[in-house]
Amino acid sequence: MHPSTNSENLITIPKPKPATTSAFEGLGNLVHLLPTGTVIIFQFLSPILSNNGECSQTNRSLTGALIVISGLACFLSSFTDSYKDSIGFKRYGIATSTGIWPGSHGQDLSEYRLRIGDFVHAFLCLIVFAALALLDNNSVMCFYPSFGATQKVLIKVLPVVIGPVAGAIFVVFPNRRHGIGFPSTASSPKNGSSTP
């Protein structure tokens, strides 16, 4: 049989994915480790502040400030946690070397103190967010619009490298905090929150 040439039997070749699509897919499994509100705000404001990637110097400055502020929020959010007070209300605070601040009077919150893993987690959250933000299409078009074909390979490969490395480190130093902006999980020890 000879191949038919009618339109029903034509083989369509899918278009290659843009570099930013591949980047987002590569980081997809790590994005849930970032504060949801920060990522949503970044994705909402990025096209506005970068003028959809057609940046003037002002747009570049505003987009850079958005990336820095959002990255700082991701870093600092790693040091927040929640607990249930004696009445049963969920309370949020900042992890310190002695427990959570501000704490509930008469309640021992020393199990929520800072650990080395908190700093590792904060640093990796910052790296994952930086990769996500700097591979965003608007950021690419704003900060480095003249990327050639060889540099686009970096954009495709970077998430593939960051993903397994960060994932392996997150396995060694798991984050058990349920801080501000992070989704809650079904499992929770005594006091209704996590044990760092």
pLDDT, one tens digit per residue, over 98-155 is: 888 887 677 888 888 898 888 988 898 898 888 888 878 888 888 887 775 556 677 7
Q: What is the 3-state secondary structure (H, E, C) of 112-180?
A: HCCCHHHHHHHHHHHHHHHHHHHCCHHHHHHHCCCCCHHHHHHHHHHHHHHHHHHHHHHHHCCCCCCCC
Residue 182's pLDDT is 63
Question: Which residue has better confidence, 77 or 196?
Answer: 77
Are 77 and 39 within 8 A, CB to CB?
no
Are 114 and 96 within 8 A, CB to CB?
yes
Q: 194 pLDDT band (50/70/90 cuts)? A: very low
Q: Which range (19-33, 40-54, 98-112, 116-130) has the least confidence?
A: 19-33
Q: 185 pLDDT band (50/70/90 cuts)? A: low
